[in-house]
Each structure stands twice: as C-alpha cells, then as structure tokens.
Amino acid sequence: MRLRSDRFQTGWIVAAAVLFVLLWQAIVIVGNFRPFVLPPPGSVGARFVQAWTDGTMERHVPTTLSEIVLGFGAGAALGVIVGYVLARSRFAERLLSPYIVAAQATPVLAIAPLLALWFGTGLLSKVIICSLIVFFPIAVATMVGIRSVDADLLEMCRAFRARPAQVLSKVEIPGALPSILGGFRVGVTLAVIGAIVGEWAGGEQGLGVLINLARGSLFDTPLLFATLATIALIGVALYAAIALLERRLVGARG
C-alpha cells in the first residue's frame, strides 16, 4: 500500500514538472517571445547541459557552494546560541531584540556593498552576508522551540537536580529540535540568496557573478536561465538535505 502511494506521488511530481515545461513552452509560443526575452525550455536545457560540460559551472558552482555552507554554518551556530539566550533570559530578549529585528529589517541588498567595502570582495564578506540573512529565522525558531519545551519535564529535571548541561542536552535541545530544524529549512534557502547577493556586491567567481556576466556582458539569456536553474537546484538539494536530517533526528513531520 505504501509503495503504491509513493509511486502515485512520484507520478504527480513528474507530471507537475512536465506540465511546468509545457506551460513555459506554451507561453513562449503564444506570447511570441524572442529568445533574448524568454528563451524556450529546450534552448535553456541545451545551454544548461553545455554550461555543465564546458567547464563554465565548474568555475562558479564551488565558490557559491562554499559561501553557502560556511555562511549557513556560522549563521546557524550563532542563531542557535542567541536564540537559546533569548529564550532563557527576558532581560537579554528586551535588550537584544530591537537590534536583532532592526538588523533583519535592513535590506541585505543595501548593506552588501558596504560589507564588500569593509571586508573585501573575497570569501569573508559573502560568508558574513549569508550568516546575517540566516541568523534571524534560526534564532527565532530556536527561541520558540526552547520556550515550548514541556515545563513539567523541566520541573522534573530540577526535582532530580539535573545539571544545566544535562537539562540542555537531554530535554531542551531534543524538545526544541523540530522547531530549530524548521528554522534551518528556512535558513538554508536564505543562505543561497545571501551568497548570490554577496557576489553581486563584488566577486570574481560564483553563480551571482555568472548571472551578471550572462546578463550584462554576454547578453546570453539562456545562460542566465541555466544559472538560475542551477541556483534553484542547489537550494532544493540543501533543503532536501535538511529535511532528511530532520527525518533522521525527529522523524517524519506532518
């Protein structure tokens, strides 16, 4: 029964992808769009394959991936720590929340050039941009998760005189994990955006640079779409990795 359901879902996923491509092709035909405005899926597919086989993506993808991984790692670590502090200290929340919210409300697009100016156009500025954009959702998810830990369990820990480290590792983190991992899901997709924005603010390699090249120098719209598809695939793959991790650690949700 389960196998049949899986097959059914897979069939739907494939059908949706086919429908998307058909719809795209229909829009190109009906709208009579020229390839430099909206290229047909076939030409984007061919350019995608070419870019992956002629070394174009090889030059740019590792750069963007390393920025995402490092930026997400740093932002997630900081977000979890700050989120825990905010959850456990009302004073800290009152003190820090305005600054954290203000930082989140500031468009990263506006501060990215400044960060590039302060920290250079190398890896560091991109990691900082990714961290900044990742930090907020993970900090909030952690705070909410820690606060939602069963109060009775915490009371029991106190009754058994559990050490703070034991409370943290045995009760609080396991209890907050679903919420924290939910924050990770959001954060990892934002990290992709952060890396691209960082590369737009300056850089020699990376998929954001390739977008600029395709759009502003080569006028190669199919390459632009192929790059966007690559970015989307990276986002989907990272999201799936977090979902897999979540399934391993806390079981299937929903």
Partner 1 sequence: MNTNARIPFLATLAVAVLVVALLVVGRGGGSGPSASPSPSASSASSSASGSKSPVGSSSPSGSVALTKLSVGLGFIPSVQFAQFYLAQRAGYYRDAGLNVTFQNKIDPDLIALVGQGALDIGIADGTSIIPAVSQNIPVRYIATVYAQFPNVVYAKASSGIKTAADLRGRKLGTPGKYGSSWIMLQALLGSAGLKTSDVDIQLYPDFGQGAALQQGAVDAATGFVNNEPVQLQLSGTTATILRVDSIVPLPGNGLITSTDSLAAKHDALKGFVAATLRAENDIIADPQKGLDAAVAAVPDLGKDKATQMAILNATIETWQSDYTKVNGLGAIDRDAWTKSITFMSGLPDKPVARAVTVDELVSEELLAK
Among candidates 186, 190, 182, which has minimal Cα distance to 245?
182
Burial 105-128 (b: 16+ CB within 10 A, else e): eeebeebbeebbeeeebebbbbbb
Among 14, 17, 18, 27, binds partner 1 (CB under 8 A): 27
- Say which residue the tokens 């920025």 belong to: 67
Nearer to partner 1, 52 or 153 (CB): 52
| CB of 171 vs partner 1, minimal distance in Å | 41
Binding of residue 34 to partner 1 (CB under 8 A): yes
By rule CB under 8 A, what string of x and - marks binding of each residue 189-218 to partner 1? Answer: -----------xxxxx----x--xx-xxxx
Among 6, 7, 10, 16, binds partner 1 (CB under 8 A): 16
Binding of residue 221 to partner 1 (CB under 8 A): yes
Burial 78-95 (b: 16+ CB within 10 A, else e): bbbebbbbbbeeeeeeee
By rule CB under 8 A, what string of x and - marks binding of each residue 64-83 to partner 1? Answer: --------------------
Binding of residue 116 to partner 1 (CB under 8 A): yes
| CB of 240 vs partner 1, minimal distance in Å | 22
| CB of 99 vs partner 1, minimal distance in Å | 25
Helix H segments across the chain?
2-31, 41-53, 56-88, 90-105, 108-119, 123-147, 151-159, 164-167, 173-200, 207-216, 221-250
Count the residues in the chain. Answer: 254
Stretch touching partner 1 by CB under 8 A, among 21-29, 67-75, 78-86, 233-241: 21-29
How many residues make contact with partner 1 (CB under 8 A)?
36
Nearer to partner 1, 4 or 248 (CB): 4
- Cα–Cα distance list, 219 to 18, 51, 62, 201, 224 (Å): 28, 15, 24, 20, 9
Query: For residues 140 and 83, is the Cβ–Cβ distance under 8 A?
Result: yes
Task: Summarize as ranges the residues that interact with partner 1 (CB under 8 A).
Answer: 8, 12, 15-16, 19, 22-23, 26-27, 30-37, 113, 116-117, 121, 200-204, 209, 212-213, 215-221
